[in-house]
């Protein structure tokens, strides 16, 4: 990429220890293994994959909300430059202002005992960003207005709001500290299609308006196609393909990407059953298969795939893929 990345993962691994293993090396789950991605400032970066692929863990590691076991995450917004692996307490507090998270479930993410005003104001108070109550109120109103919340309703409690409005409240809370980088983890998955369209449009508008950088985690490829500039596909803790949205959807190189694409139900009632179906399920990360992690379900797997793990290599401009056979397969 030509522009310098705002945030980049360098050979990042996140391991969680497992019980047992008194003798020999400690057993662990590799939730994220050797992942390198660069997210350009001002981009909308999509991260897709099935449940259990490690999308959420990667997102959290980039917020320093998951432990970094190997590798590093580098953040540089022009004002500060951090290596997240070795972040001191003071710097970590500062990083929290600059990087924020929007959750999936707007019903679980908001405290039912706090008013909307208090929910949105809390980050300001915790981080000590405002000096007086009047300043806090002004900032809350400004951000609420930006998120198209009715400022007259700020004294109400979350139960009085619908799912879409609640999600706008969570967005306002994430934006209030003036962050540069936002991780949106399945932020529209729990919403009806009409409200989903509304929240996606809002996120895009805010991103352009405030110059934000998004890591947009989703299992829904059609949503990702509509909002993201660049998409990375994850499988069992690894990135298997990464490309600009158009390229990825027009010319997927990895068999997993193309299987995901063809599994999306078509809106055409006459286009039934033509899809190539993926057999089986994602293996457990506690016991990953040898070689390519996708070989157990891949229709194109050969002997080499079962022993040797493919490297993540360039397959075009900004297009990377980890597959032994991407060149010979025309999928």
Partner 1 sequence: MSRLIDVENLTLQFDTDEGRITAVDNVSFSLEAGEVMGLVGESGSGKSVTAKSLMKLNPRNAVYGPETKITLHLENGPVDVMSLQNDAEMKIVRGGSISLIFQEPMASFAPAISIGEQMVEQLLIHTDFSKAQAKELSIEMLDRVGISDPATRFSQYAFELSGGMRQRAMIAMALSTKPKLLIADEPTTALDVTIQAQVIDLMKDLVTEFGMGIIFITHDLGVIAQTADKVAVMYLGRLVEQGTVRDVIRRPAHPYTRGLLAALPTLDDIDAPLTPIPGDIPSPLERPPGCVYNTRCQEIIGPRCAAEVPQFSQVDTNHAAACHLHDPKEGDA
- Which of 171, 230, 160, 181 has its CA nearest to residue 201? 171
- Stretch near partner 1 under the rule CB under 8 A, chosen from 74-82, 122-130, 131-139, 190-198: 190-198
- Tell me, residue by residue from 110 to 149, as one string, x for binding to partner 1 by CB under 8 A and - for no binding: ----------------------------------------
d(CA 121, CA 137): 8
- Which of 227, 314, 222, 225 has its CA nearest to residue 265? 222
Is residue 269 at the binding interface for partner 1, with CB under 8 A as the rule? yes
Nearer to partner 1, 78 or 269 (CB): 269
Gyration radius (Cα) of the chain, Å: 21
Terminal C-alpha separation, the chain: 25
Phi then psi for residue 272, to 5 deg, are -110, 140
Name the minimum Å distance from CB 56 to partner 1: 14
Is residue 278 at the binding interface for partner 1, with CB under 8 A as the rule? yes
Mention every residue, 6+ apart, whose C-beta is less than 8 A from residue 187.
102, 103, 104, 167, 170, 171, 199, 203, 216
Helices (H), 81-132: 89-98, 116-127
Contact 232, 241 (CB under 8 A): yes
Q: What separation in angstroms does the CA of 326 have from each of 102, 119, 219, 314, 319?
A: 35, 48, 23, 11, 12
Out of 19, 90, 131, 277, the only residue in the binding site for partner 1 (CB under 8 A) is: 277
Name the minimum Å distance from CB 280 to partner 1: 9
Name the minimum Å distance from CB 99 to partner 1: 27
Contact 175, 206 (CB under 8 A): yes
Is residue 249 at the binding interface for partner 1, with CB under 8 A as the rule? yes
Is residue 29 at the binding interface for partner 1, with CB under 8 A as the rule? no
Nearer to partner 1, 212 or 278 (CB): 278
Nearer to partner 1, 86 or 194 (CB): 194
Out of 150, 222, 286, 327, the only residue in the binding site for partner 1 (CB under 8 A) is: 222
Is residue 225 at the binding interface for partner 1, with CB under 8 A as the rule? yes
Mention every residue, 6+ apart, whose C-beta is less than 8 A from residue 66.
14, 31, 32, 57, 60
Name the minimum Å distance from CB 284 to partner 1: 9
Is residue 159 at the binding interface for partner 1, with CB under 8 A as the rule? no
Out of 102, 154, 260, 315, the only residue in the binding site for partner 1 (CB under 8 A) is: 260
Nearer to partner 1, 55 or 139 (CB): 55
Please count the helices (runs of H) and the strands (runs of E) in the chain.
Answer: 10, 12
Is residue 187 at the binding interface for partner 1, with CB under 8 A as the rule? no
Name the minimum Å distance from CB 238 to partner 1: 17
Interface ranges with partner 1 (CB under 8 A): 50-51, 162-165, 192-198, 200-201, 219-223, 225-226, 245-246, 249, 259-261, 263-270, 272-273, 275, 277-279, 281-282
């Amino acid at each position: 990429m030509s522009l310098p990345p705002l945030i980049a993962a360098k050979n990042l691994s996140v391991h969680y220890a497992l019980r047992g293993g008194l003798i020999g090396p400690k057993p662990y789950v590799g939730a994220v293994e050797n992942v390198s991605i660069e997210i350009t400032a001002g981009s909308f970066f999509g991260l897709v994959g099935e449940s259990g692929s490690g999308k959420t863990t990667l997102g959290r590691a980039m917020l320093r909300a998951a432990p970094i076991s190997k590798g590093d995450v580098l953040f540089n917004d022009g004002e500060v430059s951090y290596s997240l692996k070795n972040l001191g307490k003071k710097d970590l507090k500062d990083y929290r202002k600059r990087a924020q998270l929007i959750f999936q479930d707007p019903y679980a993410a908001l405290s039912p005992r706090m008013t909307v005003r208090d929910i949105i104001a809390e980050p300001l108070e915790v981080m000590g960003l405002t000096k007086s109550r009047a300043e806090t109120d002004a900032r809350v109103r400004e951000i609420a207005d930006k998120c198209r919340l009715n400022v007259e309703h700020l004294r109400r409690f979350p139960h009085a709001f619908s799912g879409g409005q609640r999600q706008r409240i969570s967005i306002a809370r994430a934006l209030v500290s003036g962050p540069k980088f936002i991780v949106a983890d399945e932020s529209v998955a729990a919403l009806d299609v009409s409200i989903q369209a509304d929240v996606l449009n809002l996120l895009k508008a805010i991103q352009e308006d405030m110059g934000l950088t998004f890591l947009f985690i989703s299992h829904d490829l059609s949503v990702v196609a509509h909002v993201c500039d660049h998409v990375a596909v994850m499988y069992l803790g690894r990135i298997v393909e990464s490309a600009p949205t158009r390229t990825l959807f027009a010319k997927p190189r990895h068999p997993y990407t193309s299987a995901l694409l063809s599994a999306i139900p078509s809106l055409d009632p006459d286009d039934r059953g033509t899809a190539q179906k993926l057999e089986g399920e994602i293996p457990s990360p506690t016991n990953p298969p040898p070689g390519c992690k996708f070989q157990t379900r891949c229709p194109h797997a050969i002997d080499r795939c079962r022993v040797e793990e493919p490297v993540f290599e360039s397959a075009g401009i900004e297009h990377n893929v980890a597959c032994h056979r991407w060149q010979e397969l025309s999928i």
